[in-house]
Chains A and B, each alone.
Chain A
Amino acid sequence: MEGIWNFPLERRNREGKLYFPTRALLPPWTTREAQAEGERRLEIGEIRISLVSSKFDIEELKLSRSSLFPHLPVALDSLDIQSTIEHEAPVDNVEIVEWMHDSAADNAILTARIEEYNKYSRIAGKCGDGYVPGVRVSDIYFAKTDGYTVARERKGTLVTPRGRVTIPLGGGNTFIASDLLAWGGIRSTSGIQYSCQALKWEQLAATPITSSIAFPSYAGIAAPNFFLQKPDKEGKRVRVSLTIASDKSQSMPISYRSPSDYTKVIDSTTLSLDKGVSEISFVVASYPSVPAVVLYAAPVSGTKTVLREYRAEVIE
């Protein structure tokens, strides 16, 4: 594994507290000047999208099972497996209450997605009750607001070492700081409790990605994903190809962001995907060479979306 890390393993925030940035391993030829110049001059050619199959078959996607609940079937959304969990561990109001089914199903989805992403890099996450016992992942956590307040205000708060982000009830929100990427979702409230999900990208998965990585979906709330597009060698023109499967037609926003500052958007567009498996290809050109960039892709909530392949190959 050769390259240059964009950020150190640990940093201190304004309050002097240690935190752990989201890191990306840049190509070994990267210099600060070449990266900045490459980002400034980056041009994206015509984006071609071709539908290679109108079939969306979960079996063919070769997705991971949950390591936490290996007996559960492969699934893309927590609602697909929730009834199995409810059947296995019915509510008794003594040990098992309703929100635990939500969280168990969410955790099954989350751990399967972590398995897929961590073949290439490192993402951490947790689903549970944001009030008690609480949801915390590394240095991010949900503020200990009770479910009644979350229900009344229709929102909760995800706290990170670089700031706070409001998470709408029944939705999700992405936190993007210059050196930190996180996501939070709140699925539902149940009295004093509320079911939420937190994700933190610790290291970005880099191209070439050759096996399926699904976008997590918690009762229809779709989380985005971040990848490092790293050309296989130094060059001025790079052919980018992605294969994405979607269970329904959707317009998926994507953006290129700078690995030296994730808040800096280099370019953005929306991919119009039909139901089935689509191949997306385009050429990226820059000078002195095409730099590594961070791809942010955010599927529409209510869809099931899987990245099957992602490559960035130098053609010139």
Chain B
Amino acid sequence: MKKYLWNFPEERRIFGVTEFPTRVSIPNWDVIRRPPSIKAGPLSIPPPPRPAMVANLSVKVIGDYNEKGLCSAPSDSKAPVTLSYSSIKKHIEKIAPIEDPAIVKWMQFSATDGLICEMTEEEYKRAGSNLASTSGDPYIPGCKLDDIRFKSEKGSTVAGRGNAVLVTPHGNIDVPVPGKATGIFEDLLCFAAVTGAWVKQWTGVLLKWKNLTKNPSSRIRFPSFSGLVAPQFIGHEADVAFPTNYVVMHVSTDKPQTMKVKYRETSDYTQEITSLDVDLKKGKNEVSYTLLILPYVPTMVVELIPEDKTSTILDDYSVSVP
């Protein structure tokens, strides 16, 4: 049986604040080849760059776009299982109409975001790991997830300034209103979106990757909140240490787009090893390429970034050693 070690501890203290890092497990064959750790927290020395390149990129359409096999939301089994924001919102409008005195407009947006979050969590969980998410109004009742949160401010304040503030243990990030931002820190991966703002209220979405799934073999959506598409983070793991890895992934998209793929160090997520742009056509795309990294291809974090206003699904991701 393979042995694994986590890249980060379950919790850390940063300037007196408890932080729960995003973790990925690293196989023993990779751990023993890594240089002795020189990292000691936020002021650490980054790992040395690895010579890397991508070759033989191929993209083929092998089928139509479909949404089969996506997960439903456990809290609402009647909600449509789809990436279509408008379909899910229609369902919410039906079960919680604005005519009811206890329902106001932002709640319908927030509930729609919440169902999308829940379906995404289920798909990520099915792939064997843990992505946490929440949605809500950051002014009141407030929007917080684990150790990240939106600063509680009025809708008119964030809309007037043009940005909301995402507070993380590593510092604050500005999130455009409306808009999105991805938080990539040494040991933390998160995402925030602001989907709407009114006078007092506004709607926000938070995602935090707790533990990364590796080489997923089941479908995971790129959640889309009013057209703002979140990235996905997964782990890349080979069976043995070798300078080349052959990657095959299937990605379904409802329209042509260019998806960015970035490979990041597991010892410091801010360190990019290599990246590529993949031109996808409408339908199910088979994307394959060879990764060459010296002295060997390590376990890495893969960031997949689709374009906004697309419906995109990662069907699977596999790694083989030639």
Chain A residues in contact with chain B, CB under 8 A?
Answer: 1, 9-10, 17-18, 20, 67-69, 85, 89, 92-101, 103-104, 106-108, 111, 118-119, 121-122, 124, 126-129, 131-134, 136, 138-139, 141-144, 146-147, 159, 190-193, 203
Contacts and interface: CB of A to CB of B under 8 A. Distances in A.
B100 A191 contact: yes
Contacts of B125: 17-18, 139
Given A144-B75, A159-B75, A132 B108 contact: yes
Contacts of B36: none
Interface string B134-172: 111101111010110100100100000000000100000
Contact of A69 (B75, B137, B142, B147): B142
B102 A192 contact: yes
A168 B65 CA distance: 46
B200 A96 contact: yes
B140 A136 contact: no
16 contacts: A10-B130, A68-B144, A68-B152, A69-B152, A85-B140, A93-B101, A94-B105, A96-B140, A104-B140, A104-B141, A107-B144, A111-B149, A131-B96, A132-B96, A132-B103, A192-B103
Nearest to A96: B200
B102 A142 contact: no
Contacts of A17: 125
Given A134-B114, A136-B114, A203-B10, A142 B140 contact: no
Nearest to B140: A104
Given A67-B149, A94-B104, A136-B118, A89 B144 contact: no
Contact of B142 (A10, A92, A111, A132): A111
Contacts of B115: 134
Given A67-B149, A122-B20, A93 B104 contact: yes
A100 to B, nearest CB: 5
Given A68-B144, A104-B142, 4 more contacts: A100-B140, A108-B142, A111-B149, A133-B107
Q: On chain B, which size bracket covers the interface?
A: 35 or more
A96 B201 CA distance: 8
A147 B96 CA distance: 11
A175 B239 CA distance: 41
A159 B64 CA distance: 37
Contacts of B118: 136, 141
Given A18-B128, A104-B142, A127-B141, A159 B74 contact: yes
Given A9-B211, A10-B130, A104-B140, A142 B103 contact: no
Interface string B83-107: 0000000001001100011111111
A190 B103 CA distance: 10
A134 B103 contact: no
Contact of A68 (B11, B126, B142): B142
B107 A129 contact: yes
B247 interface: no
A97 B104 contact: yes
Contact of A95 (B95, B105, B135): B105
B111 interface: yes
A213 to B, nearest CB: 13
Nearest to B25: A9
Interface string B60-74: 000000000000001
A196 B136 CA distance: 14
Contact of A97 (B96, B102, B139): B102
Given A103-B141, A104-B140, A111-B144, A142 B75 contact: yes
Report, nearest first, the 3 A-B pairs whose CB atoms are least far apart: A103-B141, A104-B140, A191-B102
B110 interface: yes
B258 interface: no
Given A69-B142, A104-B140, A190-B102, A132 B132 contact: no
Contacts of B141: 100, 103-104, 106-107, 127-128
Contacts of B135: 133
Nearest to B125: A18
Nearest to A18: B125
Nearest to B144: A68
Nearest to A85: B140
Given A89-B140, A104-B140, A124 B146 contact: yes
Contacts of A108: 142
A193 B115 CA distance: 17
Contacts of A97: 101-104
A103 B136 CA distance: 11
Contacts of A85: 140
Nearest to A10: B130
B18 interface: yes
B18 A119 contact: yes
A1 B211 contact: no
Contacts of A20: 130
Contact of B144 (A67, A106, A129): A67
B9 interface: yes
Nearest to B109: A133
A134 B152 contact: no
Given A119-B18, A141-B75, A95 B142 contact: no
* Central interface residue in A9, A85, A144, A191, by most chain B CB within 10 Å: A144
Nearest to B20: A122
A192 B93 CA distance: 13
Contact of A193 (B103, B128, B155): B103
Nearest to A111: B144
A237 B135 CA distance: 49
B176 to A, nearest CB: 21
Contacts of A18: 125-126, 128
A119 B104 CA distance: 37
B32 interface: no
A95 B104 contact: yes
